Amino acid sequence: NKQYRLAARPVGVPKDSDWEFTTEALPEIGADEVLVKIHYASLDPAMRGWMNEGRSYIPPVKIGEVMRAGTVGEVVASNSPDFKAGDFVSGMLGIQQYGKALAKDLTKVDPKLAPIETYLGGLGMPGLTAYFGLLDVGAVKEGDTVLVSGAAGAVGSLVGQIAKIKGARAVGIAGGPDKCAYVVDELGFDACLDYKSDSFLQDLKEPLKAGVDVYFDNVGGEILDIALARINRHARIVICGAISQYNNTTPMRGPQNYINLLVHHARMEGFVVFDYVTRYGEGVKELATWYGQGNLKFRTQVETGIENFPAVLLKLFKGENTGKLVLKIIED
């Protein structure tokens, strides 16, 4: 069983020496436990935060521990009446070839409804993040202008599509013309602005001339300030993430334009998708319905080889992914 373990707490961008690649015997399963052969692991920006010491919404990964990650795979042995060999499941089994978990910590997935890796993306944690973040925290309504950063990524791509389903206008922000073309032409956003372009601030004007009712923030930093400068009365700013700041070696930069919250009677609220665990079923059901109707498109970027994990994780921070980034663990 090959595994990636956390060897050191990174300073800035994670380095190869922050990881240890180990090989161990397959784990034995105890009462009510299930052994899973992992097919795909989810690569998430949040993993960078889990590597840090300190108080957060979830304890840090310990030094020497297998790196935490969402996974999907196939049951190979089970001591639970709820799972049998051949079932496909999702769960937090980490960066390794095989993982075990208590039956209560695994969820069955249906490979007939969608390819199993979709349960790490649109029908998994990023999909639920977009769903509850936009509908519950963002309280989107018909006619709103929804601005979303990280628009070509796993969460952002769904935020704009759900906004459209709800009768809102969707404006994305993404890095580069190819990503913006994908967001508009394939995902159906009304506009997408390339924040790396010299004309970015100028380009924002036309699509945001009616102002911003919901800003769904995936990146933080300067883009959050640019969005705050354009909010409407009673705007909702959803703090989902701040990927531009995760590798900082200096404190995270807060918004300079926060006073616009006062001026426009607006609200800025953070959330963690795990807050909604009791409502996941409701979210997945609606996401699957929209997907089945052809109203939601999911894109998965599959990279291969467990040994490539450290390099593939960094793609998230370099903008080298479009859609949901996953690592294929199972060998062909």
- Note the residues at the interface with ligand NDP (CB under 6 A): 44-46, 126, 129, 150, 152-156, 174-175, 179, 218-219, 240-244, 271-273, 316-317, 319, 321, 325
**Which is closer to ligand NDP, CB of 138 or CB of 150?**
150
- Of the pair 29, 312, the CB lying nearest ligand NDP is at 312
Quick one: 34 or 224, whose CB is closer to ligand NDP? 224
Contact 88, 108 (CB under 8 A): yes
Shortest distance in whole angstroms from residue 118 CB to ligand NDP:
14
Q: For ligand NDP, which is the closer residue by CB, 35 or 316?
A: 316
DSSP assignment string, 216-243: EESS-HHHHHHHHTTEEEEEEEEE---G
Angstrom distance (rounded) from CA 186 to CA 174: 14
Find, among 230, 225, 234, 236, the residue nearest to 258 by Cα.
225
CB of 264: closest distance to ligand NDP in angstroms? 23
Of 33 and 175, CB closest to ligand NDP? 175
Burial environment of residue 38 by CB neighbours within 10 A (0 to 12, 13 to 18, 19 or more)? buried
CA 130 to chain centre: 8
Spatial distance between the Cα atoms of 116 and 130, rounded to a whole number of angstroms: 19
Burial code of 280-305, b = ≥16 C-beta within 10 A, e = fewer?
beebbebbbebbeeeebbbbbbebee
Q: Which is nearer to ligand NDP, 94 or 323 (CB)?
A: 323
Task: Give min distance, CB of 122 to ligand NDP, in A.
Answer: 11
Q: What distance in Å separates the CA atoms of residue 63 and residue 139, rounded to the nearest whole number?
A: 40
Residue length of the chain? 332
Query: What is the sign, positive or negative, of the torsion defined by CA atoms of 127, 188, 110, 301?
Result: negative
Distance of CA 311 to the CA centre of its chain: 18
CB of 249 to ligand NDP, least distance (A): 14
For the CB of residue 262, give the shortest distance to ligand NDP in the complex, in Å: 25
Least CB distance to ligand NDP at residue 277 (A): 11
Could you tell me the smallest distance in angstroms from the CB atom of residue 134 to ligand NDP?
Answer: 12
Is there a contact between 191 and 207 (Cβ–Cβ < 8 Å)?
yes
Which residue, 153 or 283, has its beta carbon nearer to ligand NDP? 153
